Chain A
Amino acid sequence: MSPSGGTPTDLRPYRPRISTWWWTRKRSYIVFVLRELSSVFIAWFVVFLVLLVYAIGQSEAAYRTFLDWASSPWVIALNVLSLVFVLLHTVTWFALTPQAMEVRIDDWKVPGFHILAGQYTGLVVVSLFVLWLVTL
């Protein structure tokens, strides 16, 4: 017997309704959703790279056609946007790493700053390597 006098089947679980646009209310929420949206641009650029590899595998003419297509204004705009979102991903991902994992050397806990510096060093090394490999 429930206190209100009704039968127990009247009871419904409380499910608060959350608006689709809940994340527009606060700056940090917006940054969170923008960060999560970087996934869309990562997927786009993987597709772009697969198309590039395909064109290179075909012939020089196919590669030139691909570059022509890639230089059209909407593709360039999309890639500029992708670069911005991927940089947001890089910065936030690096910033989260020291919080997600604890690095210990013997009894010494490696401070977050060192992990952060290590990651940016990795970014620079990889970037220089890719640049070297492409323009060799």
Chain B
Amino acid sequence: MVGYIIRRLLFLPLTLLLVAFVTFVVLRLTGNPVDIFLDINRTPEQVAALTQRLHLDQPLPVQFLIFLRDLLHGDFGESLQFSGSAVSVVSQRVGATLQLAGAGLALAVVLGVLGGIVCAVWRDRLADAVISTLAVVGQSMPSFWLGLLLIQFFALQLHWLPTSGYGDARHVVLPAATLATILLPNFVLITRTAILELMGEQFVVTGRSKGLSRARVLTTHILPNAANPVLSFLGIQIGTLMAGSIITETIYAWPGVGRLLINSIFHRDVPVVEASVFFIAIAIAVANLMVDVLQMLIDPRIRRP
């Protein structure tokens, strides 16, 4: 398995190279960063200096090679709008994003899996109907709207939580709940389906027929087997989580990478955009690797040589 992890890690640079290439091309296609970053009153000297700094006077392939060379040194260049290197600008925001994404994901997984179990065990009963309906409602609710509703209710009506901002544990509740709602319904539905499918399997029937209680069968036979589809789904959803954090961070004024990315795209702060996209790509790749490893630990059948 260690060999597998190493091989997967060897593929990571290839993934990142593709990400770097696409980011680079898109940023160059949508306009000259110099024109966009410098304002109306720019002087020719300023244009020349920035053009040189971003290597825009070189042909495109050369620019890309320079970009790759700096990348190998972990250098995305100096941020145009902030003082400091792009890497330091992004790393200042990483903590906030990981905190929000971690809390949101944990909430979604725990509540989603619990909800899915309840739905499957009491299939076609009231609990199933209520939870499944809520899941569909949650799934179809735009997160920016949900965010505003939560602020309205918990901050303005009940005064339990702050409306926005970054600070103590109370600040993370509403953004995490908003982010969780993007993923939660799917976890409910996936868990429910996975368990229901397993319920008809022969080993489950055997377990019941040899006198095991329903609870025992569920915990020892069904849940371990249901873990894999849920985990696969989790791996796929890391991207959705990152995309969702952009909206959530904006609504709740959360100083994370998502908002930084959007802001930097508007200003065409090329180094920061590239560094942010890279961070997100690494986060997604590492999360997926962790999911794969977990799956292998759980299910010996997919253990690779």
Are A and B a genuine interacting pair, yes or no? no
Please list the residues of chain A having a beta carbon within 8 angstroms of any beta carbon in chain B.
none
